Structure 1
Amino acid sequence: MTNALARLSTRRPRALLLVALIFVIIAAVLGGGVTDRLRAGQGTEDPNSESAHAAELLDEYFPNARPNFVLMVSSDRDVDDRAIAQQGVQLAERLAYEESVSGVTSYWHTGADSLKSPDGRYALIVAHLTGNEAEAGEAQRRLAPDYQGRQGDLEVQIGGVTAILSEVEDTIEEDLIRSEVIALPLTLLILVLVFRGVIAALLPLAVGIIAIIGTNAALWAIAGVTDVSVFAQNLTTALGLGLAIDYALLMVRRFRDELELGADPRTAVTTMLNTAGRTVFFSALTVSVALAAMLLFPLYFLRSFAYAGVSVVLLAAAAALLVLPALLVVLGKRVNSLDLSRLLTRRRAKAAGGTAKPSGFVRLTSTVMRRAPIFAVGSVALLVLLGLPFLRVEFGMADDRQLPAEAEPRVVQQIIRDNFDSSATGVIDVLARGVDTAEEREDLVEFATAVSALEGVQEVQSPVGTFAEGRQSEPRTPVDAARETDGLSYLQVHPEDGIEDISPESQDLVRAIRDVDTPLDTMVAGQAAALVDSQQAIGSRLGWALGAIVLTTLVLVFLLTGSVLVPIQAVVLNALSLTAMFGAVVWIFQDGNLAGLIGFTPSGFIDTSLPVLMFCMAFGLSMDYGVFLLSRMKEEYDRTGDNRTAVSVGLQRTAGIITAAAIILAVVLFAIGFSRITNTMMLGWGVALAVLVDATVVRTLLVPAVMRMTGRATWWAPAPLRRLHDRFGLRESAEPVPHERASTTPSYEYAGRGGHPADPAPGAEAPAAEAVTVPAGAEDSTTTNEIATKKRVPHEAQ
């Protein structure tokens, strides 16, 4: 495959670039309208659940039960003032005649205490906007300017679900532009420092832009046939830039190294694709698998991130394997134009007094290898300690508090939360089907009585009257009569004061209502019921998702390394690297530590679906760096047959790349994390922390320490699996190196630049000295076949 890509890139590079340009133009046109197709809804409800089905029936038969548009009215005078009441009635009646509005209810029409604040300062007009989520959102945007602000003696503020979702959509769109403005210049600056040249630094950005624009077009197409969350755009930007830079960083560095070794541009591109290109291809597979696991969940919030994630990974890999090689062939040695390395090299040499010193990674590697048990135990203890706060995690559902404090829909909801009866917002909806006969109505009375006797229930309003404390407290009224139609009966369960809509007590109450023994066909809806069903949906599929990720990772890492132990180590250590992220999420966003400094309002819980998303995303990125490291270690082990050499040299030669890639990706994620939406902030900063911990503690300390301790057993596999890997395994060398042959090769401790051996391994006899010239700065560039033809230099001959 890589040979075919090399032939395509080297023979017709300009034609390939022209096709890429046409693709980008078409994708930009299509993707430009992607936001209009995306849904701003939470997307965290199981559409096949009991609560979702009940909600559909409520919207159809009892629209008053689920108002999604709220006018909060306030005045200098009491809302019961005659003039104020008259204007309030007129405002509600005007709203009732608007297109797309049904089920208008106001305090002045009903006199319901739940629609008036105890101090008389506020009153509510609630309505239901018809249509699906998108249609209701359009109606809200159309109506809001006509009702917002001063209306005679009334001050009106807009709230409700549709207003919250519209505000979320607008805020995300603004934050996305701001994050790109922050991330792109900083990324370019870091790339210039890493590549020490402007032209080379621009190439990863080109790959990232192709991936982002292409993914927006893909989301535009996918959103035409299924629901896609607007939050997915944040993942597109983060992964598009991050992975494109990872891949381009690895490949451009290999290309430049080949040029320094004297290869012409076409040969350098061929070598680059056959080495770094294979690593990029394998990395894209592993990251895609981790993100694709979210397709197993029915929640469209998680599925949206799978659509965006898999698309951006595959497009980033395609751009790196197709467009980038063509660009490098056209640029040739001009890729080093505006190169700052000579100036920086002269300054370093002058500062060092002309004496070369071992790099920091060389010294770190030597220390870790000498004290492997200490670093292994210490790293594990640190990661476990950082993850302990996750043991007290509380799951919930995102609400208005993820919006900025000054957003009007959030202000309205906060006033309702602070000044209105909590039972008005925490109502649990219950539907009973098939209540037609007298006997069935008697069953409904018994059911309402039993529910009213449950702990935590204040009262139950039903078509057969109001019930409290296990008995009927009020007879049936004309209002109650409106609670039944076409064989459907609608009950409202009001929790006791202090029980909020999605609190653990409210969730327990939902489960208790469902456990009530009744011959009626009942369904429970409401926010608490939706949360319970979402948790059930995630929990029932979580094992399958984790199993798919683990099994696929084990297979792919085996194909890369041919080892039985390394894939197991990769899965365990990758999972361990995520503990700091989950611990920080609970400590900061659930417990509220640093809330004032960062600027968010803690809700006391974590959105149920967010840890799943963060795990899949962070695990995939962790495997991305793991592939970089393991592929180089495997290459060294095939060449030398010595585990210590493979681990040491592999770490020395990839630590710089991994660190640079992690810093750049963290910058992009932190830019995303500066969003004013709390969930986006949590996602960006949490995954950024996971990336940095993985690239530092795990990749540079824990992985080499564990592999040093497991010794040669690290690379062991039974004969049948070894033969399987020799036939189907992924490797950077043209032919597999038999382990039996490699194991007889004398082992050397590689500690210097250029992969030169330092001291022979214990018991090994040093070969005769032979001079080998390696160009300065080319220590990471030698290909597998070239290295295999060179003889190692004894320590005494260096």
Structure 2
Amino acid sequence: MTNVFARLGRAVARRPRTAVLVWVLLAVVAYLVAGVGVTGQTVFDRLSTGAPAVPGSESDAADAILAGSAQGGASVTLALSGVAPAAAGVAEALAPQRDRLAAVAGVGSVIDPLVLPGGVANPAAAPLVARDGHGFLVVVELRAGVVGEAKTTALHDVEGLLRDTPSLLRPVAPQVTGVVGGTPLIVDAITGQVEKDLRTGEAIALPVALLVMVLVFGGFLAAAMPMAGALASIAGGLAAVLGLSYVMDVDASVVNVVTVLGLGLSIDYGLLVVSRYREELHRLTDADGGVGSRRRRGDGAVAEAVERTMATAGRTVTFSALTVAISIAGLLVFRPDILRAIGGAAVAVIVIALATALTLVPALLVWSGRRLARPSVLARVPVLRGVLARTSDVQSEEGAFSRLAGRVQRRPWWVMGGALALLALLAAPLTHLELRNSGAELLPRGSDQVTFLRQLADQYPSAAAPAITVLVQASMEQGTALAATLAHSPHVRSVDPPAAVGSYVQIGVRPDTADPAGAVARDVVTEIRAMRPGYPVWVTGQAAHELDFQKALAQRAWIAGGIVALATLVLLFLMTGSVVVPLKALLTNVLSLSASLGVLVWTFQDGHLSGLLGFTSVGGIETYVLALVVAFAFGLAMDYEVFLLSRIKELYDGGATSDDAVRLGLQRSGRIITSAAAIVIVVFSGFVAGRLLVIKEVGFALAVAVLVDATVVRVLLVPATMTVLGRWNWWAPAPLRRLHERLAITH
């Protein structure tokens, strides 16, 4: 074995301690920098949130104009309930607290209905008084120039004082309650929830994944090796996101998405490498008379097993990582920063996962020596002995998967038809897919910020921001005329009075719907954008952002899809020498992906599992979730396709018939695919236990995608189609066959 992977295996086998120490150092540094913030800020301090924007779009341009023209700074609001603002003693009780708020460094103004001339009788006080008369708002705004640490400190102090206000009013208003909210607090709530969900997901996923690997390998030693690679990949992923945050705005959800991918792939690749090593070690130690009783440095069998493992499993892992990276790199084609950030960080973590599988895990295998070929301590436990004998077997040529493949091969057309019918049934909900770009709606029900926003919408409709904002570069007279026209538009409930914003006029439009991003709001945005009043007009708001995001996806989806499809075809051709197998892989993966998305729509858009999973449906699927699930799920499907095809092709090249290669290849790789899928499902399901809606959607969708692919597709549909095609699986035109002979990367 003289290929590059075998040479890498030899190099690692000669210096295992160096490889391990380098990875320990890199992981510790990455955790300290990204997680602890020894350089000043942690990765969580640098995250942003909000409705995903498209740079250069109309809504993004309008937001930039409004931000540049803003006279004040960030604001925080206290919504009081159970107190009439004109009640006796309220003004006197509130005055000292108002003075304390005004004295906070950085505060520009403190507004409530009692501070206005004439109090609640002043018409300007109306937006600050609750609709039912039993509540009012206290709005604290910072000065425009307050930024950085001064802004953070001021907001923290203001929030604390506002939260204390209800207790100060209780002597004169015993029933008073209050909730504090505002954009800065919503951002903090989402980024804080991301950090909590990350810990929750890891706390669930890591122990259960370790348990599954113990069953797969029959002991803790072998199971710990992929886990070591996973921990290093998580550290590297956090560092990659931190680095990206200095180049572009990184949404809070990126951390969880990238971490879960790194965790899943590292375990996948480590699982394949360790399993192949044990297989090779068994062959070599059986040949030289046994496994021995002690690990010996310089053990020739161990070094050779590592070399053979890298020449086979190392090649497979590299092909797999390339296909996954290419699938996810398609996200870099799109304009929205959130997709580019996820794509860039995910590619980085895939490279790290691959590097750990090719260097760290083999180094740990060398240290373990021949111990992995011996039964573990757990195998001595009577109850576990029988279980581990089945789950950790790496030597049998016949077993459950070969028998299953045999049954499939006896009735391939029936199996293929049944599998396709099931996938079509699961994909059916896609016919009524709705896409959304949500903001605070992503927070869990019961969150203070969700309560605040609902109270604002119910009791202070005039104080709540309009769902649609129209910005025009025109005179106030022209803006007033446009506002009058908009007021008579279908599905418009009301229009706010035009207001001057620098050299622009701002008009708030309130659609006749409670859903700021639903179909009605989108129709109103489309209608306004279709107007041609003769001067520049920009429309922004949640519905406008959603339309711009969908347009940006549609414009470049074909480019991303074309790049991914072409690269996948080329890689699988170089691996198999066939043009049929790559085409079939693309088609089956599309079917698997459609089924997974259908289940996602049925669950989260239609809300069928809302009680079980603990979420409130927003009436659609987050637009960027759809994009990244397509990229990630396609990549993971290709991951398992490569695992299976590499074994089948290895057997076919060794002289087996096409049917025998499929049957034995499924036996040899089925355990690994099923085990890897089970672990990845556990990892993704751990993040479903989090409370942030977008993380739930991603974790659930990818868990379902892996489940469908590893069961219906890999062990039923693929063997059935390959049986039907027979020798045609390996067909390629003569010119391409000659090209493959020159360029193929083989064992």
Q: Is the 1:431–1:489 Cα contact (8 Å) retained in structure 2?
A: yes
Listed as ranges, the matches of 1:265-414 within 5 Å are 265-336=302-373, 338=376, 340=378, 347=386, 359-414=399-454
Give the AA of the match of 1:7: R
Offset of residue 99 of structure 1? 4.5
Q: Is the Cα–Cα contact under 8 Å of residues 443 and 519 in structure 1 kept in the other structure? A: no
Shift of the alpha carbon at 1:516?
1.3
Pick closer, same or farther for the CA change 1:547–1:126 going to 2, 3 Å. Answer: farther
Task: Give the secondary-structure state (helix, strand or coil) at the position aligned to 2:645.
Answer: helix
Residue 149 of structure 1 contacts residue 157 of structure 1 at CA under 8 Å; is this kept in 2? no
**Measured at CA, do residues 442 and 217 of structure 1 come closer, stay the same or move farther in structure 2, by a change above 3 Å?**
closer
1:552 is paired with a residue of what secondary structure?
A: helix
Shift of 1:312: 1.6
Distance in 2, Cα, partners of 1:122 & 1:523: 35
Which range is displaced more, 32-41 or 601-610? 32-41
1:487 and 2:487 correspond: no
CA distance in 1 between counterparts of 2:695 and 2:327 reads: 20
Write the distance in 1 (CA, Å) between the matches of 2:43 and 2:614. 26
Aligned equivalent of 2:686? 671
1:214 and 2:214 are equivalent in the alignment: no
Provide the secondary structure at the position in 1 that maps to 2:17. Answer: helix
Deviation at 1:579, TM superposition (A): 2.5
Q: State whether residues 63 and 102 of structure 1, in contact with CA within 8 Å, keep that contact through their aligned partners in structure 2.
A: no
CA distance in 1, matches of 2:45, 2:245: 6
Structure 2 residue identity aligned to 1:71: L
Name the CA distance, whole Å, in 2 between partners of 1:92 and 1:397: 37
Which residue, out of 716, 719, 722, partners 1:701?
716
**Map of 2:49 onto structure 1:** 41
C-alpha displacement of 1:40:
3.7
Q: 1:81 aligns with which of 87, 90, 113?
A: 87
Change (3 A) 1:395 1:350: closer
Find the counterpart in structure 1 of residue 69 from structure 2: 61
Partner of 1:767: none
* Aligned mate of 1:546, from 561, 582, 603: 561
Aligned mate of 1:644, from 659, 673, 687: 659
Residue 629 of structure 1 aligns with an amino acid whose one-letter code is L
1:235 CA drift (Å): 2.4
Aligned 8 A contact 1:137 1:163 in 2: no
Partner in structure 2 of residue 453 of structure 1: 488
Structure 1 regions of 5+ residues with no counterpart? 464-482, 733-798
Give the conservation status (yes or no) of the 8 Å contact 2:677–2:706: yes
Kindly state the Cα deviation for residue 203 of structure 1 after the two structures are TM-superposed: 0.6
Deviations 1:647-692 (A, max 9, x none): 2221121111100110011111111110011211111122111101
Q: Distance in 2 between matches of 1:320 and 1:218?
A: 18
Question: What corresponds to 2:23 in structure 1?
Answer: 20
Indicate which of 212, 225, 241 corresponds to 1:190. 212
Residue from 428, 432, 439 that aligns with 2:472: 432
Give secondary structure in 2 for the equivalent of 1:609.
helix
Cα deviation, residue 329, structure 1: 1.8
Once residues 62 and 141 of structure 2 are traced to their aligned partners in structure 1, the CA distance between those partners, rounded to angstroms, is 16
On the 8 A contact 1:43/1:300 being kept in 2, the answer is no
CA distance in 2, matches of 1:15, 1:357: 37
8 Å contact 2:180–2:449 — kept in the other structure? yes
**CA 1:405–1:447 in 2, change beyond 3 Å: closer, same or farther?**
closer
From the superposition, tell whether residues 25 and 243 of structure 1 become closer, same or farther in structure 2 (CA, over 3 Å).
same
In structure 2, the partner of 1:122 is 135
Offset of residue 334 of structure 1: 2.5
Tell me what 2:294 maps to: none
Q: Residues 506-545 of structure 1: matches in 2 within 5 Å?
A: 506-545=521-560
> Which residue of structure 2 aligns with residue 741 of structure 1?
none
Contact 2:44 2:191 in 1 (8 A): no
Query: How many angstroms apart in 2 are the aligned matches of 1:494 and 1:401?
Result: 18
Is 2:98–2:110's contact at 8 Å kept on the other side of the alignment?
yes
- Seen in structure 2, the aligned counterparts of structure 1 residues 261 and 86 have a Cα distance that, compared at 3 Å, is same
Q: Select between 564-573 and 121-130 the one with higher mean Cα deviation.
A: 121-130
Question: Within 1, Cα distance between the matches of 2:20 and 2:324?
Answer: 26
| Mapped contact 1:283–1:624 kept (Cα < 8 A) | yes
Q: TM-score, normalised by structure 1?
A: 0.82
Which position in structure 1 is the counterpart of 2:642?
627
Query: Is 1:587 the equivalent of 2:602?
Result: yes
Equivalent residue for 1:178, pick from 193, 200, 203: 200
Moved more, 236-245 or 313-322: 236-245
Code of the aligned partner of 1:52: D
Structure number with greater Rg is 1
In the aligned structure 2, how far is the partner of 1:398 from the partner of 1:388? Answer: 24
Q: Which residue of structure 2 aligns with residue 168 of structure 1?
A: 190
Superposition deviation, residue 318 in structure 1: 0.3
Asked if 1 retains the 8 angstrom alpha-carbon contact of 2:436 and 2:621, the reply is yes
Decide whether the 8 Å contact of 1:187 with 1:668 is kept in 2: yes
- 1:724 lines up with 2:732 in the alignment: no
Q: Does 2:249 correspond to 1:227?
A: yes
The answer on whether the counterparts of 2:47 and 2:252 sit within 8 Å (CA) in structure 1 is yes
TM-score normalized by structure 2? 0.88
Separation (CA, whole Å) in 2 of partners of 1:299 and 1:350: 50
1:148 paired to 2:183: no
Task: Please state how far the C-alpha of 1:52 moved relative to its aligned partner.
Answer: 1.6
Deviations 1:565-618 (A, max 9, x none): 111111111121123321222212112212122211122122111111111111
> What's the offset of the Cα at 1:725?
1.2
Indicate conservation of the 8 Å contact 1:200/1:336, yes or no: no
Specify whether residues 611 and 127 from structure 1 end up closer, same or farther in structure 2 by C-alpha distance, changes over 3 A only. Answer: farther
Any stretches of 5+ residues in structure 2 without a counterpart?
Answer: 117-122, 170-175, 286-300, 391-395
Q: Secondary structure at the match of 1:119?
A: coil
Q: Secondary structure at the match of 2:654?
A: helix
The structural deviation recorded for 1:417 is: 3.5
In structure 1, C-alpha distance between the alignment counterparts of 2:424 and 2:217, rounded to whole Å:
36
Which letter does structure 1 place at the counterpart of 2:32?
A: V
| Matched AA of 2:505 | S
Choose 208-217 or 86-95, whichever is displaced more. 86-95
Q: CA deviation at 1:63?
A: 4.9
Report the secondary structure of 1:262's partner residue. helix
Residue 718 of structure 1 and its aligned partner are, at CA, apart by: 0.6
Matched, 1:250 2:272: yes
Structure 1 range deviating more: 644-653 or 654-663: 644-653
Question: Which one has more relative contact order, counting CA pairs under 8 Å at least 6 apart?
Answer: 2
- For 1:615 and 1:644, locate their aligned partners in 2 and report how far apart those are by CA, in whole Å: 32
Cα gap change, 1:97 to 1:727, in 2 (>3 Å): farther
Question: The residue matched to 2:469 in structure 1 has which SS?
Answer: strand
1:182 aligned counterpart, secondary structure: helix
Quick one: distance in 1 between partners of 2:259 and 2:716?
Answer: 30
Show CA shifts across 1:34-78 (max 9, x none): 3344314036111321112211222232457x9753321223x32
Go from structure 1 to structure 2 and tell me whether the alpha carbon gap of 1:188 and 1:452 turns closer, same or farther (over 3 Å shift).
Answer: same
**C-alpha spacing 1:8/1:516, structure 2 compared with 1 (3 Å):** same
1:615 and 2:630 matched: yes
Q: C-alpha distance in 1, partners of 2:464/2:582?
A: 53
What percentage of residue pairs aligned between the two structures are identical?
37
Are the structure 2 counterparts of residues 542 and 166 from structure 1 closer, same or farther at C-alpha, using a change threshold of 3 Å? same
Q: Who is 1:71 aligned against?
A: 78
Q: Per-residue deviation at 1:267?
A: 0.7
SS in 1 for 2:165: strand
Matched residues, number: 701
Aligned twin of 1:199:
221
Q: For the structure 1 residues 106 and 544, does the alpha-carbon distance in structure 2 shift closer, same or farther, using more than 3 Å as the test?
A: farther
**1:225, distance to aligned residue in structure 2 (A):** 2.6
